[in-house]
Structures are given as C-alpha cells and as structure tokens.
Amino acid sequence: MRRCEGLILHLSAPVVLEYEEVLLREIVPAYATRESVEAFIDELVAISVRHSRIVPRRPLAADPDDDSLAELALTADVDAIVTFNKSHFLELPALGIDLLTPGQLLQDLKL
C-alpha cells in the first residue's frame, strides 16, 4: 500500500469493524473476495495509529453508525476526516475538523 507523506490514518476497533462491514456488503462479491477485503483491512490497521480509548461524545453524526468515526476524529485530534457522507458530520467543522471527500483528499495530495 502506498504511503502518502503527511497523511496519518487513525483507527479504533469500532471504526475498523464499520469499514469491514461496509466493504464486505458493498464490494464482495461484485469486485473483490472476502479474503482480499480482509487483507486490505489488515494493511490499513498495520499502517495506522490505533486508538483503544475513545472519548464518548454521542450523538455527533446524523447517522448513528458514523458516531464512532466522529468520536475517533475528536479523540485523535485530527485535522480532517475523509468521507463521501459530509452531510453526516455537520457538527465537526465547528469543532475544528475539516470534512473532505476522497476526491478532495487526492487533489490536496496532488495524486
């Protein structure tokens, strides 16, 4: 997996489980195997900063399934989160966290 200078991925167990659930539902079997999704998740975990203690602050997101990502963002004191669902996180910019789409991130990284 390519590493991007200055990009730090933060993960918690609830966020990893949510990513895995969504990828297995949306990607398998049309585009990938269960094993390749699990290998991808393992690689993400390997290159990430892992957080085991998350400060609960619910509700933060429009979708309750996204609260764990919002809580992780606040606990990790990140600059931004990357999501296709910016409308789910309208509270975060007021708390100092920018919202980027994947396309915006790629533009920022000049990829």
The C-alpha atoms of residue 76 and residue 57 are separated, in whole angstroms, by: 13
Nearest-CA neighbor of 76 among 99, 53, 93?
53
- What is the chain's mean pLDDT, rounded? 90
Q: What is the pTM of this model?
A: 0.85
- Residues 34-65: pLDDT tens digits? 999 999 999 999 999 999 998 888 788 888 88
User: What local confidence, expressed as pLDDT, does residue 3 receive?
Assistant: 55
- Residues 12-34: pLDDT tens digits? 999 999 999 999 999 998 999 99
DSSP string, the chain: ----TT---EEEHHHHHHHHHHHHHHTTTTT--HHHHHHHHHHHHHHSEEES--------SSSGGGHHHHHHHHHHT-SEEE-S-GGGGTTTGGGT-EEE-HHHHHHHHT-
4's tokens: 């991007």
Beta carbons of 47 and 88 less than 8 angstroms apart: no
